[in-house]
Amino acid sequence: MRTLLLFLSRQKQLRKWMETSAWARRLSGRFVAGDTLPEALSTCQRINAEGIAVTLDHLGENVASPAEAARSRDAYLQALTEIVKLGIDGNVSLKLTQFGMDLSLADCRSNVEQLVRQAAQLGNFVRVDMESSAYTDRTLDLVTDLHARYAAVGTVIQSYLYRSRKDVEMLCDRGIRVRLCKGAYLEPPSAAFQRKADVDRNYIELMNLLLEKGVYPAIATHDESIIAETERFVVSRRIPRDAFEFQMLYGIRRDIQRRLAAEGYRLRLYVPYGEAWYPYFMRRLAERPANVVFLARNLVRR
Ligand SMILES: Cc1cc2nc3c(=O)[nH]c(=O)nc-3n(C[C@H](O)[C@H](O)[C@H](O)COP(=O)(O)OP(=O)(O)OC[C@H]3O[C@@H](n4cnc5c(N)ncnc54)[C@H](O)[C@@H]3O)c2cc1C
């Protein structure tokens, strides 16, 4: 089921049909904060009121023209300006294929640089999400290069990739902030662990490394046993609670989100918005195929 859903997430015709369908849009509302920036910002303010920070993601990936990439950049510049203007406790997360990486590395770099420069001027931060392993090297190169000049940028490491320990060590050495996640794409056995137990074991090893050697790491997961392991580790090493943060996705495991915030942990929610929601939505279904049944039931009830 996971493989099928991830395969469907890359189907262009299905994407076009879903993104223009009113009922499909209603379904995606469980994971997506709205179509427009004002809707997303008011969701962010509501989340902030619960003592939880945000990172705003303007949905879109694998854009097909330089004009589309430039529109994505402008949407992010505007989002960052509004976040600061409204005093929202938040930053932004982006995907390099949304900034034109498939079209021209130089243009993509220039688009991201404009945003990172603005973030540095505003005292804010840009997180570069990690996409499939075809992009890992280019993503790390671009982030390390921009970090050397602006500092206001960090990236993401996926524990399902065999290479990740080496990448975490390199990022720690350079003082670059890392968000650790398990990984959401379909990867071959030559690149990634296929068994959940191996992905989880590697996650815990990388989490320990980041908490000891990293700069303000983000532990991004909804996995209760890994969250418990993180809590045990920071207590045993006397790592202060303001030296790291948990991160979770908007709309997923509200129960754990509330508990962590109530216990005084730093927590940030990843809040996606925009009309290009289909690939993001399908990856969320793939992570927990029971979501398909849940959504189908809601549809039948309507
Ligand atoms: C803040 C944040 C940013 C991320 N950024 C990236 C990125 O840049 N690149 C990337 O490849 N991946 C990214 N991911 C996705 C990540 O790689 C995983 O696919 C996703 O978080 C599910 O893994 P998990 O750690 O929650 O563990 P899992 O083992 O998948 O899930 C543990 C438990 O969490 C709950 N859960 C997990 N997913 C769902 C869901 N979709 N619906 C309902 N319940 C669910 C279930 O209770 C499940 O039993 C990000 C995740 C987060 C939280």
Q: Does 184 sit in the ligand 1 pocket, CB within 6 Å?
A: yes
Selection from 71, 65, 67, 60 nearest residue 96 by Cα: 60
Cα of 66 vs centre of ligand 1, distance in Å, is 31
Question: Reduced to 3 states, what is the DSSP secondary structure of residue 144?
Answer: helix
Distance (Å) from CA 245 to ligand 1 centroid: 16
Q: Is residue 297 part of a domain?
A: no
What CATH code is carried by the domain that includes residue 42? Answer: 3.20.20.220
Contact (Cβ atoms closer than 8 angstroms) between residue 122 and residue 90 = no
Tokens coding 290: 């029971």
70-103 pLDDT, tens digit each: 999 999 999 999 999 999 999 999 999 999 999 9
| Structural domain contains residue 10 | no
Residue with tokens 């990984």: 183
Structural domains in the chain (count): 1
- Cα–Cα–Cα angle for 74, 79, 82, rounded to 5 degrees: 125
Token pair belonging to 144: 């390390």
Residue at 8 is within a domain = no
Chain-centre distance for alpha carbon 93: 6
Euclidean distance between CA atoms 138 and 215, whole angstroms: 22
Ligand 1 contacts CB of residue 75 (under 6 A): no
Instruction: Please indicate, yes or no, if residue 153 is contained in any of the structural domains.
Output: yes
287 lines ligand 1 (CB under 6 A): yes
Cα–Cα distance for residue pair 56/58, rounded to 1 Å = 7
Contact 6, 282 (CB under 8 A): yes
Res 209: pLDDT = 98
Q: Of the residues 73, 109, 129, 223, which is catalytic?
A: 129
Instruction: State in Å: Cα 247 to ligand 1 middle.
Output: 10
With respect to residue 71, please indicate whether it lies within any of the assigned structural domains.
Answer: yes
Whether 179 is catalytic is yes
Contact 196, 229 (CB under 8 A): no
Tokens 């932004």 belong to 92
How many whole angstroms separate alpha carbon 74 and alpha carbon 95?
A: 14
Q: Ligand 1 pocket, 165 CB below 6 A?
A: no
Separation between Cα atoms, residue 48 and residue 68, nearest integer Å: 31
Instruction: For residue 106, tell me if it sits in a domain.
Output: yes
Low-confidence ranges of the chain (pLDDT < 70): 294, 297-302
The separation between the first and the last C-alpha atoms of the chain, rounded to the nearest angstrom, is: 25
Q: Given this model, what pLDDT does residue 302 score?
A: 45
Packing angle of the helix pair 12-19, 278-287 (nearest 10 deg)? 100
State residue 301's pLDDT score.
54
pLDDT of residue 6: 86
pLDDT of 298? 60
Domain of residue 66, residue span: 32-276
> Alpha helices of the chain — where are they, by DSSP H?
2-8, 12-19, 22-28, 37-49, 66-85, 105-122, 136-150, 164-173, 196-213, 224-236, 254-262, 278-287, 290-301
In a domain, 302, yes or no: no
Q: How far is CA 101 from CA 75, 225, 230, in A?
A: 17, 36, 34
Q: What residue has token string 């671009």?
A: 142
CA distance 39 to 50: 18
Tokens of 51: 């003592």
CA–centroid distance, 256 to ligand 1, in Å, is 13
Assigned domain for 108 exists: yes
**Does residue 291 have its Cβ closer than 6 Å to ligand 1?**
yes
| CA-nearest residue, atom 25 of ligand 1 | 221
Calpha distance 78→75 (Å, rounded): 5
Q: 113 CB less than 6 Å from ligand 1?
A: no
Residue nearest to atom 48 of ligand 1 (CA): 223
129 is catalytic: yes
